[in-house]
Amino acid sequence: MADFNEIAKQFVAHYYTTFDTDRKSLAPLYREGSMLTFQSDQLMGAGAITEKLASLPFAKVVHKYDRTDAQPTPNGILIVVAGQLLVDDGEQPLSYTQTFLLAQDAAGSYYVQNDIFNLVVF
């Protein structure tokens, strides 16, 4: 396996840059069997996941991630991100955690097999 820390770092940067500029463009990162749990809402498949992300009630969002931990798994990489996000030019950042399990397809490309997102409640 290539350096999982480097792949994780590149994935996280790509994911949030895409999310913050045009979140519909996240679709290729998910597949038919991909799962997202977003604040307890459960969705499966690239289509349903992208629809959910597109429907979130804000026009602008900026993710700032403070910490990224990664570990190799038998078929991919486990990534845990802790960060803050700011929506619609608000001044109060919201803390969040997001866990990604990346898997490799037959061609060796990584995609999001599992995704669990939670705002951190203080």
Residue (of 39, 61, 65) closest to 52 by Cα position: 39
Pick 75 or 89: Cβ nearer a second copy: 75
**Bridge partner residues of 99 (DSSP):** 80, 116
End-to-end alpha-carbon separation of the chain, Å? 38
Q: Tokens at residue 80, please?
A: 């845990």
- Shortest reach from residue 60's CB to a second copy, in Å: 25
Q: Interface with a second copy by CB under 8 A: which residues? A: 35, 37, 40, 66-67, 69, 71-75, 78, 80, 82, 95, 97, 99, 101, 103, 113-114, 116, 118, 120-122
Shortest reach from residue 93's CB to a second copy, in Å: 12
Least separation in angstroms between CB 101 and a second copy? 6
DSSP reduced 3-state for 115: strand
CB of 118 to a second copy, least distance (A): 6
Alpha-helical regions (H) of 1-122: 4-22, 46-55
Closer to a second copy by CB, 21 or 122: give it: 122
